[in-house]
Amino acid sequence: MRVCYAFLLCLIFGSLIEAKDLPVGLEGEPVDVFSEEDKDVVVLFFVEDICPISNRYIPKMKRLGERWSETARFLMVYPGVNTKVENVKEHRTDFEIGLPCVIDRDHVLVEKVDAKVTPECAVFARGESGAFEMVYRGRIDNQYVAFGKWRKEATVHDLRDTLGLIAKGEVPGFRSEKAIGCYIDRE
């Protein structure tokens, strides 16, 4: 069963996203999130400017982006079908976000990752074939345990630990942890 699941993931993520289906940057240009040749890891943060849980996690996202910037490409993905560039730019300014941002109105990345909420992250590592394979999807850490319930400090750091394993050359098999946040509108 595990082999079948791994094969299915390879089929899904092994195909390239066509240019017309790419998310767009803040100038309206198509952005291929897997295009940086010098990075072997891509981390996608699914966020919404109007989601309070996403906004509370931004400092952690920024710290992780700074800590692992040598080996990983980090992007903020705004999946709202009605997301406006002006709102994303304002959000970047208000929260001093230096990470690159893309707008995924057509949910190309949402569907490839099967993202459900914001904030949620997905980690892709370059496999032996040179293609990126998803190794983690889910929560950043376990600080939020349910809607309206959170710990003062996280006790499990899923994203940080995944990046640490990859940095040591121990690319993990795919795993996921349920993220708590604002649901992504798929309509």
Burial class, 157, CB count within 10 angstroms (exposed 0-12 / middle 13-18 / buried 19+)? middle
CA 174 to mean position of chain CA atoms = 15
Percent of the chain whose predicted confidence (pLDDT) is above 90 = 66
From 7-11, 25-29, 117-121, 180-184, the region with the lowest mean pLDDT: 7-11
Q: Give the Cα separation of 137 and 43 in Å (integer).
A: 10
Quote the pLDDT of residue 1. Answer: 43
* pLDDT tens per residue across span 131-185: 999 999 999 999 998 888 888 999 999 999 999 999 998 888 899 999 999 999 8
What mean pLDDT value characterizes the chain?
87
Give me the phi and psi of 60, to 5 degrees please.
-65, -40
Contact 180, 147 (CB under 8 A): yes
| Domain regions of the chain by residue span | 2-16+29-183
Rg (CA), the chain: 16
The CATH number of the structural domain formed by 2-16+29-183 is: 3.40.30.10
DSSP state of 38: T
pTM flag (> 0.75): yes
pLDDT in tens, 22-57: 888 888 889 898 887 789 999 999 999 999 999 999
The residue ranges of DSSP E strands in 61-153, in sequence order, are 72-78, 101-103, 117-118, 120-126, 132-138, 144-146, 149-150
| pLDDT score at 13 | 43
Q: What is the percentage of the chain residues whose pLDDT exceeds 70?
A: 89
Instruction: Provide the sign of the torsion angle of the four alpha carbons 165, 167, 172, 175, taken in this order.
Output: positive
Q: Which of 66, 67, 86 is nearest to 78 (CA)?
A: 86
End-to-end Cα spacing for the chain? 32
Cβ proximity of 156 and 141 under 8 Å: yes
Taking 60 as the threshold, does the pLDDT of residue 86 lie above it? yes
